[in-house]
Amino acid sequence: MWGHTIQVDWAEPEKELDEETMQRVRVLYVRNLMLSTTEETLRSEFSHLKPGSVERVKKLTDYAFVHFYNREDALTALESMNGKLIDGSPIEVTLAKPVSKDGKLRSGSRSSYGGVTPAGNYSDSNFLFQSRDDVSIGAISDGLTARPLSLPPHLGSPYAVDLDRCVYPFLPGSTLVPVSLNALKPSQLSSAVSLLDYYCHKNDWSLPEYHLYSLAGQEGKMLLIYKVVISSARSSFMPDKACTILEDAKELAAQNALWNLG
């Protein structure tokens, strides 16, 4: 196509979770949040219809999970809060999709990212947050039409992440304009490493430093783990899991830092 070799494969729609599982969900996935929005603000907004109904809130950059004590309150808040402005940003609210302890969807449609050693899960519940079109693999692009691509779940995270990425043809003669990281939106960043850089830029902090360490795993396998240091914030973070793949270890370390900073 236009002088380039293309590959075409069948799209694989994401399987629906079984109804029994979804009937037990009492956690809302909230996205399109401002970076400055706090967990306290979200708790106040989501419990205004029934004070005390929110069990806990966990915010990560521009998205969050709001846990309710019971499902009825979660559904009421979903209907009330979807599309509402919080700190000037219209939020999107959906029910969070559970994943199993091994990182797979309970319907069995998605497996965890390779290279992560088994370890204890975070104390929070496991949930998948879906892409806008709820499709795990996109079809071939037809010229200028965007093609969604699936991303693997973030490594060992309490949440499996499915973000929207789009690929467009780069046409000859296109004008290139320099752009800084600060000009981007969090939704344009697909990795935790990039999101952590973005977070540091927004807070006028120094960029994170990654210090690599190794340890011996089962059968003598070398395991890798990064320590993240943000000197201007006088903070350092190290995840509770190790990886066999270098890039996986760095991504996991960045996400752990975001988790603690969020």
pTM here is 0.43
Instruction: Name which of 33, 89, 36, 108 is nearest 65 in CA terms.
Output: 33
Mean pLDDT of the residues in the chain = 73
- In whole angstroms, how far apart are CA 64 and each of 2, 12, 253? 42, 27, 19
Predicted confidence band of residue 73 (pLDDT cuts 50, 70, 90): very high
> Does pLDDT of 133 surpass 50?
no
Domains, the chain: 19-98 (3.30.70.330), 192-261 (3.30.160.20)
Which pLDDT value is given to residue 20?
67
* Average pLDDT of span 173-184: 84
Extract the tokens encoding 195: 């999101």
Strand 89-90, strand 127-129: pairing? unpaired
Strand 127-129, strand 159-161: pairing? parallel
For residues 27 and 55, is the Cβ–Cβ distance under 8 A? Answer: no
Phi, psi of 105 (to 5 degrees): -60, 145
Which pLDDT value is given to residue 188?
76
* Average pLDDT of span 88-110: 64
Which pLDDT value is given to residue 50?
92
Extract the tokens encoding 128: 């998948």
Which pLDDT value is given to residue 184?
78
d(CA 222, CA 249): 12
In which order are the strands placed within the sheet that holds 159-161?
A: 97-98, 127-129, 159-161
Q: How many CB atoms lie within 10 A of CB 11?
A: 12
